[in-house]
A and B are shown apart, each in its own frame.
Chain A
């Protein structure tokens, strides 16, 4: 199952801004992530973790270098093609949950399916199944305001996995949660990785959370400093 790279980055750089105010956030990142891996990305603040995640999530493009997803050059795709790629293969969990307010958990989870053009019934079934997976089926008609932080993050994860993506990207998924909720989320991600075959890539500052990963990548000053095997490897 391993040994097949789902992601390859070669000499990826990212420059924000232009002229004298330009800032180089990534200074040549080389990275290979194997299918089915559970990766934790660590590093000091400002080291380029989120920038890398955004590129991996096809939300942004590198300034230079190559980024291959399933062997395809993403840096050559236009905005809409990248959107279609996100829709089909990627699930993204954001630090700030980023759920639609005044919208029920189920409607939030259904959203990616709506853009995929699924029928109402299929949407509901898949949405409820995803909520079930994160243990929130009974809360399907609650809006984010009626859910706890941990529950909101689980809804966000349900939304990310409802399309059965190949790759789940999570930028500090436990950043806003207490340690008990954080461990629940980590167990959920581990379960998705092991039982649903989803490759998981997660940014975290906490070694406790990184301990759930199989591979740990350390960033520093816009480059990959080191790659080590995690506790679960």
Chain B
């Protein structure tokens, strides 16, 4: 008998028992939907982690005092850096594209009755070069402005929108921490940083101004080093560490009192973690798909018993065993494929709704859709075979007698 006829028979049998067919495939529907949704959302999460980390800038080393994140545990507070460290790094370390000293503070910006509390970042023009962060309008600090520590500032788009609303801030004066400063540039929007922080909520001023008026010393709290693409970040990092130990007089064997934060390394770690989480959740979803397959086998077995008489009739009017086998097998495959398709559709809806809620991009992945569908079809074959074999092995006379 031709396959087409078998498929017709299978569809007829499925349509005759719509509710039972739907319940049979429910396991597959949920399994496929779960797997595809998890993988799609996982991909989106990985992509968004990658993107926010790469927004820090590629090949960037951040030099901070203390060990690890924060300033370390107890004991004396490790000293900040001084401006000579910055000069030394720029002059003595090979493979450095740009070095920017940073001194940070925070305060409330005030402009014509609008208040906005924000981060104050004291640095130099090389800060923008290091991160390849462009201006949306205006200009960078002039060397003489940096040298003199003039009260000029470049603001991020979040600050601009909240403080100046619709106005063009260029050339305007606003007050922050009791001093007045003039807006000379507006930064291009960057979005979230690697830790969910808003990178655009910032006012950048010459470091000398920040040190003189806000921090009250010449300390540099962080140094950003952009590595030249032609050099290995790790090599630059180790020569940087060697030099800093020397400059900070750390005895051999003593731990560092500073740390170097490699954005690429962090990026790899974080994406590795999200990928692993995605895999775990997908594996769990995969198990539910397998359980769905067992559900199909279960119902098919019940269906074979329930339809023993039907099988008897088919055999008695001249169906050969292989035709009955094929019919039940095709029925299982059609069921699981329909379930697979419905699962894909459900996953599409679920991810389209969940992705924006979770704040991750919706990346439709053709591959996982194809794999999940193929898997559901395979489940139909594997779990449909046993019941089909059973149906085909029935003796027509016994089957006809079955009540």
Contacts and interface: CB of A to CB of B under 8 A. Distances in A.
Contacts of A114: 1, 5, 8-9
B314 interface: yes
Contacts of A212: none
A117 B317 contact: no
Identify which of A83, A90, A159 gathers the most chain B CB atoms within 10 Å of its CB: A83
Given A60-B397, A103-B16, A107-B12, A115 B316 contact: no
Interface string A137-163: 000000000000000000000010001
B310 A84 contact: no
Interface in B298-328: 309-310, 312-323
B397 A83 contact: no
Nearest to A162: B317
Interface of A: 54, 57, 59-60, 79-80, 83-84, 86-88, 90, 92, 94, 98-100, 102-103, 107, 111-112, 114-117, 159, 163
Contacts of B397: 54, 59-60
Contacts of A103: 12, 16
**What is the interface residue range for chain B against chain A?**
20 to 34
Contacts of B322: 80
Contacts of B312: 98
A100 B310 contact: yes
Nearest to A90: B318
A92 B316 contact: yes
A102 B16 contact: yes
B396 interface: yes
Given A57-B316, A86-B316, A94-B316, 14 more contacts: A59-B316, A79-B320, A79-B321, A80-B321, A87-B319, A92-B316, A102-B17, A112-B317, A112-B318, A114-B8, A115-B314, A115-B318, A117-B1, A159-B317
A101 to B, nearest CB: 8
Contacts of A87: 317-319
A88 to B, nearest CB: 8
Which 9 pairs, one residue from A and one from B, show the smallest C-beta to C-beta distance?
A: A87-B318, A83-B320, A86-B318, A80-B320, A102-B16, A112-B317, A115-B319, A59-B396, A98-B313
Given A54-B397, A117-B5, A111 B316 contact: no
B382 interface: no
A61 B12 CA distance: 33
Contacts of B17: 102
B317 A115 contact: yes
B392 to A, nearest CB: 10
Contact of B2 (A54, A112, A117): A117
